[in-house]
Amino acid sequence: MSLDLRLPMGLMFTLVGIILAAFGLATRSNAALYERSLGINVNLWWGIVLLLFGQIMFHLGRRGQKKMASLPPPEPGTTEVRRGH
């Protein structure tokens, strides 16, 4: 079994990005909360960044799995190491 680490990492970053962006959207009218960051809704912007990064990682992992599935199976009796990149 070969698990591409980009898949769970992509899902984790996507989930954290969704939570952070949702918090940023829910608190966008609270000016006192964003006073220290010069009025910039940091939670919303970093949530969007994490969401995009997570989606990129997930799609790269899926692409790598499809590439591995399209390779011919190794010959019996060989100890060939298959890498998806």
Instruction: Give the least confident one: 7-11, 56-60, 71-75.
Output: 71-75
Cα 40 from Cα 34, distance rounded (Å): 6
Cα 25–chain centre separation: 20
Q: Among all chains, which residue has been given the structure tokens 């010959």?
A: 75
Q: What is the maximum span of the chain, computed from C-alpha positions, in angstroms?
A: 67
Q: Where are the domains of the chain?
A: 6-68
What is the CA angle 85-55-49, rounded to 5?
120
For 42-69, write each residue's pLDDT tens digit: 999 999 999 999 999 999 999 888 877 7
